Amino acid sequence: MQNFEQHSANSNLDPKPNAVTDQQVLIAGGGHVGLSFALLLAHHGIKSTLLEKNSYPEIGPEDDAKRSHYLDSRNTALSRRTVQIYQEIGLWDELQSHACRIDAVQISEQGSFGRAQLKKEEEKVESFGQVMENAWLGHKLLLAAQDEPLITLIDNADVVAVEQQADGVTLTFNYYDGSEGEQQLQGSVLVACDGRDSTVRQLLGISTTDYDYGQTAIVGVVETSMPHNHVAIERFSPAGPLAVLPLTDPEGDGNNKYQKGYRRSVVWVCANGEEQQYLEDDAHFLATLQQAFGERAGSFIKAGRRGAYPLTRVLADRQVKGRCVIMGNAAHTLHPVAGQGFNLCMRDAHVLAEMLSEQVKQGADIGDKQMLQRYEKARQSDQKRVIRFCDAVVHGFTHSNPAIKLARNVALVAFDKLPNIKPLVATYAMGLKS
Ligand SMILES: Cc1cc2nc3c(=O)[nH]c(=O)nc-3n(C[C@H](O)[C@H](O)[C@H](O)COP(=O)(O)OP(=O)(O)OC[C@H]3O[C@@H](n4cnc5c(N)ncnc54)[C@H](O)[C@@H]3O)c2cc1C
């Protein structure tokens, strides 16, 4: 971990960086989006300082095998577009040893006849995306950010105040790793990646439009009696949607009790208040999955560690205010059913990094309000489309009305048979359309 004292000597606490060449981006929040955005900026030669409230572990490349779940215990389906972005910044080679290809996607509903299937050969694509453990992604992002001279990482730093001036932005944070207390940093632009309950968003007085799904996602790893064969399965049950995704077989991480090729990630959604029974009781969890899922994957025979995530859609009413941008879950927290949230954040981050790079090339201010507003506008249609898509999937499959159920089964059959719809949806689900 880079050390704060080292970097204060390194000019990050200097007074206002007025010169265009001395511009830096302040990033509040160092989860997957904050770290990825800092790496995208560095790729364009732009300096950033990232403040993370929690403590990062002391890690080096030698810790690959025993990586801990310090950032997250979930697994993420990375779209092809996200993979392309990591390729572009030279990180994919590091990441791909723990990426599991999705070659086919099956969609079905419990107790219904409708079923649809997307196959990579038919859609003429290399794959529909890659599934990766968040712990691995976070570990590699952190290592890359630590090694990048253009990124200053400050953990144990809780952002508590934001003040905007005509030519910059000042961030105040409580620094917990010693006796330093409150500290300040100055930058040209502030990008808040501090999650669903974003402090920065609140400090800026940006309101949100929230919707409580009344559901909790249970995520975990299971072993099935049938190999995954790189097939992702989306199943809709009366309790909620269920996604079963193929996973790689990590070796030497203390988790290699699974048979090679049979390890899968599960996202199971239940009503709020029911989660404890699924978290605590392996046998009950496996039996419930089996009932909801049928024999599509064979038997569910082993369950690993699980986590619970209450599901609320949180949309910031605006994403730019002055020199500040709201990004990641702080801007839009979505239902995980379609695996779109992080992929959408990565497209936002990619576009903003390119726009800031263009400003630098022109010798212009990277906190220019008009340019930031152009960014917000440019991202609107992709964001709206994804939000609508996720909600349509969630609400479309939770109606128990027999007529609606019949209609969606007919729709699934039609989807499976009509040649022109599948490539469109496949392209969309892969995040390539933006
Ligand atoms: C069950 C589930 C499954 C999902 N699966 C997928 C999937 O398959 N594909 C997909 O694309 N997306 C998926 N998502 C969505 C994805 O997980 C999110 O989009 C992503 O985690 C957002 O990351 P983030 O960095 O914006 O937020 P976070 O991960 O919440 O990170 C915010 C960071 O900011 C820090 N922070 C908070 N406050 C402060 C402060 N005051 N000062 C400094 N730092 C602060 C926090 O400590 C944290 O590290 C899933 C979500 C869920 C719930």
Per the domain annotation, does 337 fall within a domain? yes
Q: Where do we find the tokens 């209609």?
A: 407
Asked if residue 257 and residue 336 are part of one domain, the reply reads no
Q: Which residues contact 168 (CB under 8 A, 6 or more apart)?
A: 16, 17, 18, 186, 187, 188, 323, 367
Does position 18 have pLDDT exceeding 50, yes or no?
no
Nearest atom (ligand 1) to Cα of 311: 53
Q: Mind listing the pLDDT tens digit for each residue in 211-253?
A: 999 999 999 899 999 999 999 988 877 777 788 999 998 764 5
Cα 412 to middle of ligand 1, angstroms: 31
Nearest atom (ligand 1) to Cα of 309: 53
Count of domains in the chain? Answer: 2
Per the domain annotation, does 93 fall within a domain? yes
Range with top average pLDDT, 153-167, 284-298, 410-424? 153-167
Asked if residue 121 and residue 14 are part of one domain, the reply reads no
Cα 124 to middle of ligand 1, angstroms: 32
Has this prediction a pTM greater than 0.85? yes
276: CATH: 3.30.9.10
| Separation of alpha carbons 137 and 16, rounded Å | 34
Per the domain annotation, does 434 fall within a domain? no
Q: Is 329 in the pocket of ligand 1 (CB under 6 A)?
A: yes
Per the domain annotation, does 176 fall within a domain? yes
Asked if residue 232 and residue 126 are part of one domain, the reply reads yes
Question: Which residue has its alpha carbon closest to ligand 1 atom 29?
Answer: 31
Q: Which domain, by its residues, includes 192?
A: 4-74+137-210+314-389
Per the domain annotation, does 198 fall within a domain? yes
Q: Mind listing the pLDDT tens digit for each residue in 172-206?
A: 999 887 666 889 999 999 999 999 999 999 999 99
SS3 call for 398: coil
